[in-house]
């Protein structure tokens, strides 16, 4: 019987080879992917997120944990697709037009994925219309916008406006994040919420869907 506690520890400590090894053992034993994700991988990501918020873990550790979890998820994806595992909701995430930063965005994407969301990461330098078309194509519940520059954060307004002028109006929530933005800016542009780190982004996404 696979010791799934080892998977929790592997994700928490960012041990990619061990995370993949234990996940593969669990797949071979036909353990339910949702149980693996919810009870071990997500819990490990929640713990590293909580440590980060408390100042007991730092960005490199968060990134290593996210990488270990992503490696394990890649193995589980084909199993989940064949079993059509239920996901909490679908999120489109990208960095807005003119901005090429993606570390924070990728971290949030990994956290959301690890906590049960279907995540479509559409990259960097994304125009407003692409956020809209991707959200329509994937029947998304949430659009997440990232910006790391004061010169690009204003473009978030364009995306919010594009969503409100499209078929997505009142159907899709818009979350924003990134160093220069804050809660008052989110309210100012009409976004549905703001998060300053990956852990609170997951909590906010769950709240918006509920």
What pLDDT does residue 83 have? Answer: 65
Average pLDDT over residues 112-123: 89
pLDDT band at 43 (very low <50, low <70, confident <90, very high): confident
What is the tens place of the pLDDT at every residue in 149-189? Answer: 999 999 999 999 999 999 999 999 999 999 899 999 999 99
What is the tens place of the pLDDT at every residue in 191-209? Answer: 999 998 877 898 999 999 9
Domain boundaries along the sequence of the chain: 5-83, 90-209
- Report CA torsion sign: 77, 117, 11, 61: positive
What pLDDT does residue 52 have? Answer: 83
The strand pairing partners of 193, in sequence order, are 175
- Write the CA distances from 175 to 37, 151, 195, integer angstroms: 24, 19, 8
Beta pairing, strands 173-177 & 118-121: unpaired
5-83 against 90-209: fold identical: no
Domain 5-83 has CATH 3.90.1150.10: no
Average pLDDT over residues 112-127: 91
pLDDT band at 5 (very low <50, low <70, confident <90, very high): very high
What pLDDT does residue 17 have? Answer: 98
Number of H helices, E strands in the chain: 11, 5
134 pLDDT higher than 70: yes
What is the tens place of the pLDDT at every residue in 76-103? Answer: 888 877 765 678 899 999 999 999 988 7
What pLDDT does residue 181 have? Answer: 95
What is the tens place of the pLDDT at every residue in 55-67? Answer: 999 889 988 998 9
User: In 3D, which of 156, 129, 139 has the Cα closest to residue 91?
Assistant: 139
Average pLDDT over residues 11-21: 97
Percent share of the chain, pLDDT over 70 = 98
Fold for the domain defined by 90-209: Rossmann fold (3.40.50)
Question: Coil, strand, or helix at residue 105?
Answer: helix
Summary mean pLDDT of the chain: 91
Q: Which residue in the block uniquely carries the two structure tokens 């995430």?
A: 93
What pLDDT does residue 87 have? Answer: 80
pLDDT band at 45 (very low <50, low <70, confident <90, very high): confident
């Amino acid at each position: 019987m696979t010791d799934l506690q080892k998977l929790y520890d592997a994700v928490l400590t960012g041990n990619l080879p061990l995370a993949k090894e234990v996940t593969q053992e669990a797949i071979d034993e036909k353990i339910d992917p949702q149980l693996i994700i919810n009870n071990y991988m997500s819990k490990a990501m929640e713990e590293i997120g909580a440590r980060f918020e408390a100042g007991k873990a730092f960005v490199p550790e968060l990134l290593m944990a996210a990488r270990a979890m992503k490696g394990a998820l890649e193995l589980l994806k084909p199993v989940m697709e064949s079993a059509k595992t239920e996901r909490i909701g679908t999120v489109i995430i990208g960095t807005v037009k003119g901005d090429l930063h993606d570390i924070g965005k990728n971290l949030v994407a990994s956290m959301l994925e690890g906590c049960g969301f279907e995540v479509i990461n559409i990259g960097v330098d994304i125009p407003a219309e692409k956020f809209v078309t991707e959200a329509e194509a994937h029947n998304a519940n949430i659009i997440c916008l990232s910006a790391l520059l004061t010169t690009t954060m204003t473009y978030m307004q364009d995306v919010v406006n594009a969503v409100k002028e499209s078929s997505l109006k009142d159907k899709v929530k818009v979350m924003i994040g990134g160093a220069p933005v804050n809660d008052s800016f989110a309210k100012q542009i009409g976004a549905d919420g703001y998060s300053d780190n990956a852990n609170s982004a997951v909590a906010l996404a769950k709240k918006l869907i509920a």
